[in-house]
């Protein structure tokens, strides 16, 4: 049975045991191996949003809910991350920096489709974009090896030019709200 407080404690213990994401990945993989219990504890996702489950200087745990067909631009975190899917699907494109004449851009370097029960670890320097390619919400537990809301120097890359720009948390939050427009209107209960 997935218990949020126990999950947080297990992630903290794993981080003390191993400062890399390896031990935390095992904790996340165990949790999403029983997706029905995660859904019961966190509730059925209804709309795209980021819910903070735990936030400290060395560890942040989020319940990231992707709206249907939602896409986030290529971005980096400036810390390692572990992602585990408990409902829906999340497609990641991995990017690398390339010199294009006088400009530094990114180009696609790989991809990984994550479905229910899948877990992936991302290194400190990974650049990725995320898409929910299905017509319903996707729920994922994201664990970060640091203060997700605090790092300076995070970047995202323009969708059209693929040029680097500063990552803006408010702009990212607006993307979640804009993506919620694709949800069909809820009927009264």
Q: Which two tokens stand for residue 143?
A: 């664990």
Q: What is the DSSP letter of 78?
A: S
pLDDT digits 0-9 by tens, 53-91 = 999 999 999 999 999 999 999 999 999 999 999 999 999
**Which pLDDT score, from 0 to 100, does residue 89 have?**
98
Distance in angstroms (rounded) separating the CA atoms of residues 139 and 118: 12
Class of the CATH-defined domain 4-182: mainly beta
What φ, ψ does residue 13 adopt, rounded to 5°? -60, -40
pLDDT digits 0-9 by tens, 106-149 = 999 999 999 999 999 999 999 999 999 999 999 999 999 999 98
138: helix, coil or strand?
Answer: strand
CB-CB contact of 95 with 108 (8 Å) = yes
- Sequence length of the chain is 189
Residue 184 pLDDT level (bands cut at 50, 70, 90): low
Q: Which residues contact 81 (CB under 8 A, 6 or more apart)?
A: 21, 121, 122, 126, 142, 143, 144, 145
The domain spans of the chain are: 4-182
3-class DSSP string for 13-42 = HHHHHCCCCHHHHHHHHHHHCCHHHHHHHH
């Amino acid at each position: 049975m997935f218990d949020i407080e126990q999950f947080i404690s297990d992630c903290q213990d794993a981080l003390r045991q191993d400062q890399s994401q390896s031990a935390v990945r095992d904790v996340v993989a165990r949790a999403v191996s029983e997706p029905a219990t995660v859904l019961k504890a966190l509730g059925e996702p209804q709309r795209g949003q980021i819910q903070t489950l735990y936030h400290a200087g060395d560890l942040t745990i989020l319940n990231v809910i992707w709206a249907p067909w939602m896409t986030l631009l290529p971005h980096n975190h400036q810390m390692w991350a572990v992602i585990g899917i408990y409902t829906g699907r999340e497609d990641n494109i991995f990017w690398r920096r390339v010199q294009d004449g006088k400009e530094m851009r990114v180009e696609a370097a790989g991809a990984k489709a994550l479905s229910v029960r899948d877990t992936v670890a991302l290194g400190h320097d990974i650049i990725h974009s995320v898409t929910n390619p299905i017509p319903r919400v996707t729920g994922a537990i994201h664990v970060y090896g640091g203060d997700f809301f605090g790092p300076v120097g995070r970047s995202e890359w323009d969708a059209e030019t693929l040029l680097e720009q500063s990552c803006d948390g408010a702009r990212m939050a607006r993307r979640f709200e804009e993506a919620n427009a694709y949800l069909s209107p809820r009927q009264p209960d």
